[in-house]
């Protein structure tokens, strides 16, 4: 069987920036095992698979080790490939997903606008060993939604964190968001999820489903400019809109090829 595959860098307009995602168009679903093996072989943080559903699409995402319930950058990459490589003719795409409902991506000039669910985090507690594994600096707040969110006082605190990834992978299977008010943006973040085979995710759209409602409340405004300050670095323009979050970003195609299975 021969399948097309694409790879795009999301939340950036520069190659080798943002977050790379593989995109595999399908006419019908492969088995879960086959999709998981393809994702492991690709070895990027997420591989997106989609099939047509009338004028819309069904969408699923796999990390190198498991299927995930929501992924922003791979959704953005999928929309980018549909618009730029697969001649999708409308300016809005609806993706139907199993656990995150319907996600919409609109084309707005050179930006893509993702319409995702808001997932506010609530105050929580985490094991002391997790905080030790994250680094020497202690957060000023600890919250949790799907992932743990640790809030720090300064942007420099986020830059300076050096997690022990092997220890972190043994403590919690979910991701850890670290965030602080930005020096040159409204907020900054990083995202760690070593249990999924990804020590640090370069730019994480799903984490912003937690970050946007938090910072909108803290800063008293619904329109926010954010950086994820990983080595590859990503930039997002965000808005809280009732129970939805809007994320604007760019993408650029890196690779087009074929898979033989």
Domain holding 101: CATH number?
3.10.310.10
pLDDT of amino acid 197: 84
Q: Are 182 and 231 part of one and the same domain?
A: yes
What's the pLDDT tens digit per position in 139-151?
A: 999 999 989 999 9
Q: How high is the pLDDT of residue 196?
A: 86
Do 146 and 218 reside in the same domain of the chain? yes
My answer on whether 141 and 217 are in the same domain is yes
* Same domain (yes/no): 140, 101: no
Q: Is 239 a catalytic residue?
A: no
For the chain, what's the residue count? 261
pTM of model > 0.85: yes
Q: Identify the pLDDT of residue 174.
A: 84
Number of domains in the chain: 2
Same domain, 129 and 237: yes
According to the model, what pLDDT value does residue 216 have? 98
What pLDDT score was predicted for residue 136?
Answer: 86
pLDDT value of position 24: 98
Whether 129 and 232 map to the same domain: the answer is yes
Residues 112 and 126 in one domain: no
Looking at the fold, whether 216 and 253 belong to one and the same domain comes out as no
- 236 and 255 both lie in a single domain: no
Same domain membership, residue 197 and residue 101:
no
Provide the domain limits for residue 131. Answer: 122-241
pLDDT of residue 172: 77
Mean pLDDT, contiguous 10-residue spans, the chain (261 residues): 98 95 98 98 96 96 94 97 96 96 95 97 94 94 96 98 94 91 98 92 96 98 97 95 96 98 92
- 112 shares a domain with 208: no
Q: Are residues 7 and 86 in the same domain?
A: yes
pLDDT value, residue 260:
98
Question: Which residue among the candidates 34, 41, 46, 108 is catalytic per the annotation?
Answer: 46
């Amino acid at each position: 069987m021969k399948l097309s595959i694409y790879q795009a860098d999301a939340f950036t307009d520069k190659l080798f920036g943002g977050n790379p995602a593989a995109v595999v168009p399908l006419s019908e679903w492969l088995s879960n095992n086959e999709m998981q093996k393809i994702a492991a072989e690709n070895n990027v943080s997420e591989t997106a698979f989609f099939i047509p559903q009338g004028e819309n699409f069904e969408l699923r995402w796999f990390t190198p080790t498991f299927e995930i319930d929501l992924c922003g950058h791979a959704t953005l990459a999928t929309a980018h490939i549909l618009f730029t490589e697969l001649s999708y003719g409308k300016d809005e795409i609806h993706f139907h997903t199993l656990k995150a409902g319907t996600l919409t991506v609109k084309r707005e000039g050179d930006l893509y606008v993702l319409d995702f669910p808001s997932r506010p985090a609530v105050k929580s507690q985490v094991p002391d060993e997790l905080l030790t594994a994250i680094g020497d600096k202690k957060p000023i707040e600890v919250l949790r939604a799907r992932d743990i969110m640790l809030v720090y006082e300064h942007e420099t605190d986020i830059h300076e964190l050096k997690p022990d990834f092997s220890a972190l992978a043994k403590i919690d299977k979910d991701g850890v968001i670290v965030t602080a008010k930005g020096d040159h943006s409204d907020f900054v973040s990083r995202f760690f999820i070593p249990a999924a085979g990804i020590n640090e995710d370069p730019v994480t759209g799903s984490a912003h489903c937690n970050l946007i409602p938090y910072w909108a409340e803290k800063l008293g405004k619904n329109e926010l400019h954010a950086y994820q300050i990983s080595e590859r670095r990503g930039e997002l323009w965000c808005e809280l809109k009732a129970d939805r979050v809007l994320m604007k970003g760019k993408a650029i195609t890196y690779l087009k090829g074929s898979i033989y299975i």
